[in-house]
Amino acid sequence: MKTMSTLLSLLVTFLLLAGCGGNSADDQNVNAIQMKTENGMTIPDKATVKSGEKIKIAVIPKGTTHEYWNSVKAGAEKAAKELDIEIVWKGPLKENDRAGQIVILQQFVTSEDIDGIVIAPLDADALVKPIRHATNSGKPVVLIDSGLNAKVGEDFVSLVATDNFKGGELGGKELLKLLDNKGKVVLLRYLVGSASTGQREAGFLKEMKADPNIQMLVDNRYGGATSSEAKVNALNLIDKIKDADGLFASNEAATLGLLLALEQVHIAGKKKFVGFDSSEPLVRALKEDKINALVVQNPKKMGYEGVQTLVKFLKGEGVKDRIDTGVAVVTKENLDKPEIKELIE
């Protein structure tokens, strides 16, 4: 039964992607969103909703289990309340379910009462054709959290996200400071195809490779979609981790999984450890000196600005084609600062 379900999911995905081909008649659909980019703005040729009409948009996260996405949802709901619009929140359970996210996206594309879509693409390549199909079907798309290997102002309206490369650089600089610019380092990546974490990892490695006194013991291993998977994969690297002086993980799942692995082998707090994202367990570990620093995004702002941007575009207004929602390094010493508390609570 499970095999049949998997085959059916793959068949649905194949049919959707085949139907989203770049040169099909659908790409010339008269309902296609017409827009242009100019001086950092994406400008629609006209409003796509009537004045006074109740707007309804879909918001599709990468997954629905991590605390991070609950914060994104809270931001989206805040914007919806302020704007007096309706949002529908629906995403795959796990953050490696590309087929599931594509199916959900296609459901919203074919739904007549959905005016537009905010989505955090699970894969920078696999989601290109489905998102292009949405735009060509008359559903404007705003990206949040992660980018896409596609054209802003043509395939999608705007990207609302952290400057992830900068976030990785900040994490690298913080770890170098903790290590006094020398030592052995392990990087635990997140998922293959994830644009946001890939950029963080690249930014982190840029800092590591620039220092001749840093030796990368591991830089090509992935934790997986959940903290449970990340824990297992970290334990598979435990000999390298024990030999390391410093550790970096590139998102909430990887950070928590690595922390759980360290706790299991009783070396939590004995390695310099910089993680990415925040959650209650991670902040607690920071307070207990099991983690030295967290590079933290602003997921509430991401959800809020994503919805705000799409609604403005639907009403015919020009919007920024890239909105940086900010990133900060959180340590035990700055935890109580108001601007930091706002990010982690």
Question: Which domains are seen in the chain, by residue range?
Answer: 32-161+299-324 (3.40.50.2300), 164-296 (3.40.50.2300)
Scanning the structure block, which residue is given the tokens 């074919």?
110
Q: What is the full per-residue pLDDT of the chain (345 aa) written as tens digits?
A: 444 444 445 444 444 444 444 444 444 466 899 999 999 999 999 999 988 889 999 999 999 988 899 999 999 999 999 999 999 999 999 999 999 999 999 999 999 999 999 999 999 999 999 999 999 999 999 999 999 999 999 999 999 999 999 999 999 999 999 999 999 999 999 999 999 999 999 999 999 999 999 999 999 999 999 999 999 999 999 999 999 999 999 999 999 999 999 999 999 999 999 999 999 999 999 999 999 999 999 999 999 999 999 999 999 999 999 999 999 999 999 999 999 998 988
Evaluate whether 219 touches 247 at the Cβ level (below 8 Å): no
Sequence length of the chain is 345
Question: Two tokens at 120?
Answer: 């955090």
Q: Report the alpha-carbon angle 142-223-220, nearest 5.
A: 95
Evaluate whether 297 touches 162 at the Cβ level (below 8 Å): yes
From residue 56, how far is each of 112, 139, 189, 305 by CA, in Å?
10, 11, 36, 16
Q: What is the pLDDT of residue 15?
A: 45
- Among residues 89, 136, 163, 131, the alpha carbon closest in space to that of 322 is found at 163
d(CA 302, CA 297): 9
pTM of the model: 0.86
Scanning the structure block, which residue is given the tokens 């919007």?
319
